[in-house]
Amino acid sequence: MSDLILVVNAGSSSLKFHMYAVDQNEQLVFDYGGQVSGIGGDAPAFKVADAQGQLLERRTLAAAQAPDLHGAQALVTDWLLERLDREPIAVGHRIVHGGPRYGRSLPLTPQVLEYLDSLSPLAPLHQQNNLAPVRVIFERWPEIFQVACLDTAFHQGHAPYVQRFALPEHLYGQGVRRYGFHGLSYHYIAQHLQQHWPQQAQGRVLVAHLGSGASACALHQGRSVETTMGFTALDGVPMGTRPGRLDAGVVLWMMEQGMDHDAIQSLLYTESGLKGLSGISADMRVLEQSDDPRATLAIDYFCYRAAECLAGLCVSLQGLDTLVFTAGIGEHSPAARAGIARHLAWLGVEIDPARNQAGQTVISTDASAVKVLVIPTNEERVIAEQSLALVRSVPVQ
């Protein structure tokens, strides 16, 4: 009977979970996955499908069944308890911020949980949401082995001048430094390149993780050498509701106008980015279908600033061989990919319109100096792999 690994990835209004079986060769086989969406809304929904896409469960929930992530995880856990004939050997969680203390995935203990909880101000949209399911699972399965898989860990090891801000040393000692995020996604892309594009993997690679949260990462020989996000998940590329790079003086001006911490935090995390510029939506698909000039402005801004961030990362690589698009916008928006590529033509990026529109893996022209790829990311698989490695390394009691 195969061992099982459960992966949980909690967002602000959704909770995703994947179940993997461990075969006799210690390889992970995706079994089924699902999500609770619309958490906190009037009509949340619960859906589960197997590896072939066949629905195992689909139902609309009462608002009281998923009022928050705690309630959503309780619902998922109860569903699993009814279905499973054995406990998973480990549960892996995506945790956005690991702070300066942790540079790799690690078992979740009360002490680790307390430290990760203390980092919540650095990721107010994410950290508490990531940790809520951990607490529920400990309530329902108190002895189960849980793992924190950290989005910041992949970027550990950057050069000191990359890792720091130009601020007094004592602030660095207090943890004010550039951490970087989306590390689980970049880890997956680095692995995928090594397995399927080994020549590209050894070269100078830029990965554009473009979704509702967006960033970019420079890879050299599969390792992160620079990334666009820093101390928090606000910096760098514009996002669905976050501004990306922003003059710190704007925040000082907001304070001078009488805005308090909570108002500024809300504006920067939930009212800016594509949503703020367009006044219409944070969803690139909605904006691309709109003929409102504000939607066009938001898309143009996103493509220009994303390209600017990617070009800046070339300094760390001293050139560019491969550009990879991934995540929601990166995988599914030919228009955004083309818009970004136009701004990078001087670097040798040349996209084939037909390949791009068809969403092929290679979307660059044969003559392009830079190979441009579209690779779907899979953070859940990385979490499962890291969780399996950790649970296997823990001595049997």
Write out the catalytic residue numbers. 151
For residue 75, give the nearest of 157, 15, 150, 1 by alpha carbon: 15
Structure-derived torsion over alpha carbons of residues 150, 153, 154, 155, reported in degrees to the nearest 10: 130
Question: What is the spatial distance between Cα 97 and Cα 6, in angstroms, rounded to a whole number?
Answer: 20
Radius of gyration of the chain (CA): 21
Q: Which amino acid is at 94?
A: R
Side by side, which strands form the sheet with 28-37? 55-60, 45-50, 28-37, 14-22, 3-10, 90-95, 146-150, 106-107
All residues at 6 or more sequence positions from 107 whose CB lies less than 8 Å from its CB, including other chains: 145, 146, 147, 148, 390, 394
Q: Is 216 exposed, middle or buried (0-12, 13-18, 19+ CB in 10 A)?
A: buried
State the helix-helix crossing angle for 334-343 and 293-317, rounded to 10 degrees: 60
> Nearest-5° angle of CA 381, CA 113, CA 34?
35
